[in-house]
Amino acid sequence: MNLVEIAIADRRVLLTVARPAGPPRAAVSFSHGAFSAPGKYAALLDGWAAAGLLVAAPMHVDSTDHPQREAYDQGAVWRTRLEDQAATLDWLAGQGNLSLAAAGHSFGALLALAAGGAGVLAPPGASTLDPRVKAVVALSPPPATPPLIAAEGFASTAAPLLVQTGDADVLPGFVDDWRMRLIAFEAPPPGDRHALVLAGVDHYFGGLICRPELPGPAQAEGLAQAVAVSVDLVLAHAAGDAEAAARIAARSSDQSFTTR
């Protein structure tokens, strides 16, 4: 992975970029979880790059690694995150004739959903939907979180969608039941909606993503499954890969996978 600096008005934003060994087949903008940082998702981003995806992940101002974190209050976090994602998608669009996807983990998953059409808090008259986004990967998204998103906001997601969670994916006091995360999958109308629920997987894959300081044990098999399914979603819809689409269809016999 390498770092690229882009400008958003008077802000400088660092993108962590994971590049495939050969020509990329599609491009993914990735948004990290609250207070985390792109480098803490190396296992995920490198996995996507190894499968042929060009990935760019901005460091948002709420990251504890951000050098100017103290200059931004809580009210600026959501606005700047939306700006970061839009600028990252613009940067990826400038890297060649690549179709785009949006992905995110936890708080970052709300950004990816917004780019795919979910109704989130946005400046008056501003649209967060990005029609260039051909697929959305929402890893462990939060439930309805007013004022950022109400329950009905999930219903307008239009892009093909993968929602991933696990049966240990709880955050006591916020998400007490992992099933709460499936609203992002259940609320939109049927059609290219997919849910992957992994047995024994928690919010951080045992410390493999977002919080590497956790003692584990690492849930490497679960992360490998999440990478494989998300790659297939992106390749099927952003790269027109018929074999990837067939692999998704073949997962109908897998108890951990649901399509509607």
**pLDDT tens readout for residues 61-98:** 998 988 887 777 777 889 999 999 999 999 999 999 99
Q: Is the peptide bond before 215 cis (omega within 30 degrees of 0)?
A: no
What mean pLDDT comes out for the span 95-102?
96
Tell me the per-residue pLDDT of 145-188, one tens digit each, with 9 for 90 and over: 999 999 999 999 999 999 999 999 999 999 999 999 999 999 99
Helix/strand/coil for 107: helix
* pLDDT of res. 220: 98
Residue 125 pLDDT > 80:
no
* pLDDT of res. 126: 72
Q: What is the pTM of this model?
A: 0.96
The total domain count for the chain is 1
Average model confidence (pLDDT) across the chain: 95
Please count the other Cβ atoms lying within 10 Å of the Cβ belonging to residue 253.
Answer: 6
* pLDDT of res. 108: 98
* pLDDT of res. 113: 98
What mean pLDDT comes out for the span 22-37?
97
Q: Percentage of the chain surpassing pLDDT 90?
A: 90
Residue 44 pLDDT > 90:
yes
Residue 48 pLDDT > 90:
yes
- The residue segments making up the domain with residue 43 are 2-259
At 37, is the pLDDT very low, low, confident or very high (cuts 50, 70, 90)? very high
* pLDDT of res. 127: 80
40: domain CATH number? 3.40.50.1820
| Beta sheet of 100-105, edge-to-edge order | 2-8, 11-18, 53-58, 26-31, 100-105, 133-139, 161-168, 193-202, 257-259
